[in-house]
Amino acid sequence: MHKRMKKVICAAAIAALALGGCSSTAKSGKEAGGKVDAVASFYPLAYVTSQVGGDLVDVTNLTPSGEAHDVELSAKDLTTISQADALIYLSGFQAAVDDAVKEAAPKNTLDVAKAAKLKKLSAEEAAEHEAEHEHEGEHEADHDHEGEHEEAGHEHHHHGAFDPHFWLDPQRLSQVVPQVVATLTKADPDHGDTFQKNGKALQDKLANLDKEYRAGLNKCATPTAVTAHEAYGYMADRYGFEQVGVKGVDPEAETSLTRLQEVANIAKAKKVNVLFSESALGDKDTKTLAEELGIKSEVLDPLEIQVDKNRDYLQVMQDNLQKLSKAMKCQ
């Protein structure tokens, strides 16, 4: 769906909620004597919340499919948010969620941005990011000239000057666990000890995953990963390899011919033998570039959504590790 149409739909849904939804007398799950009703804005946060909450918490994921960066919320989603016992989200990542938080967030709302210690984009990255969205704005204007002032203001929601993809570094994801524990405990104080125990178990799993990555990405012969978009910066920094993105931090940004040539030159110079695409994107640019270079293209999952419902965060991260280790010829 066209971005402008998404924004119109989201704005209309928020307006409808403001007029009628907030006055609802419906009780949340915990208020009605049942489980805690928790809402998470996208998959990694839903995973953490479900691991900490266990059988005591029902978790609604606002981004079960599609493109997480540009999620569209319905009036039903906004009602679910307003009536939740807890909301866990990442500010600056999903504009529709940020807007919903302003209008409909429950009192027990956690923004994980501070705990995740998001990294500012470099001046060059920030400039490229801004240029990408200026180009998007020009492209949208060709289709629809109405609401230009609203559009200009809204575009600045896109990540700001920070890289949002912290969850691809297990240590950073672990840092948000205690806050999720505290948020669920606030919703259900009687089970705080259980949430604490579950949180510790999850942190232990993430610590083991970190050890696997340190061992698996050690002494790589070609320590460069060419990826569909720059989602792996935190991972690359943690484990000592170079990330080269066909696109920047936003996978919806258009790729210029100049950038494709730059990536091709880097891949040749670094002797890269695999380009990593993303199944959720379709990702024609990366696959086409791999064909032109005569090298393989494999899927690396940035875990913004859960592509395979039978494989959770830990399993997908382990799959990613195996692919990266093989591609970069690590010992």
User: Could you state, in order of their start, the residue ranges of all structural domains in the chain?
Assistant: 3-113+168-207, 120-153, 217-327
CATH fold of 217-327: Rossmann fold (3.40.50)
pLDDT greater than 60 at residue 288: yes
DSSP secondary structure code for residue 253 in this structure: S
Nearest Cα to 315, choosing from 301, 326, 330?
Answer: 301
Position 137 scores a pLDDT of 44
Position 254 scores a pLDDT of 85
Q: Is domain 3-113+168-207 given the CATH code 3.40.50.1980 in the classification? A: yes
Q: How far apart are CA 44 and CA 59, in angstroms?
A: 12
pLDDT greater than 60 at residue 177: yes
Fold match, 3-113+168-207 / 217-327: yes
- Tokens at residue 317, please? 């991260």
Position 285 scores a pLDDT of 86
Q: Helix axis angle, 192-216 relative to 43-53, nearest 10°?
A: 130
Among 27-31, 198-202, 233-237, 302-306, the minimum mean pLDDT is found in 27-31
Do the beta carbons of residue 173 and residue 42 sit within 8 Å?
A: no
Better-predicted residue by pLDDT, 135 or 52: 52
Supply the mean pLDDT for the chain. 84
Quick one: average pLDDT of 266-285?
86
pLDDT greater than 80 at residue 191: yes
Q: Residue 250: which pLDDT band, with cuts at 50, 70 and 90? A: confident
pLDDT in tens, 96-123: 999 999 999 999 999 999 999 999 887 6
Q: How far apart are CA 95 and CA 155, in angstroms?
A: 9
Quick one: average pLDDT of 24-39?
70
Q: Which residues contact 201 (CB under 8 A, 6 or more apart)?
A: 51
The letter for the amino acid at 177 is: V
* Residues 182, 87, 48: CA angle, nearest 5 degrees: 60
Position 130 scores a pLDDT of 53
Better-predicted residue by pLDDT, 11 or 180: 180
Q: What is the pTM of this model?
A: 0.84
* Residues 129, 39, 90: CA angle, nearest 5 degrees: 25
- Residue in the structure block whose two tokens are 């969850």: 167
Give the E-state strand segments of the chain in sequence order. Answer: 36-40, 57-61, 86-89, 109-111, 119-120, 162-163, 224-229, 242-247, 274-277, 296-299
Position 5 scores a pLDDT of 40
Among 73-82, 142-151, 186-195, the minimum mean pLDDT is found in 142-151
Among 15-24, 284-293, 298-307, the minimum mean pLDDT is found in 15-24
**Residue 90, exposed/middle/buried by CB under 10 A (0-12, 13-18, 19+)?**
buried
Q: Residue 128: which pLDDT band, with cuts at 50, 70 and 90? A: low
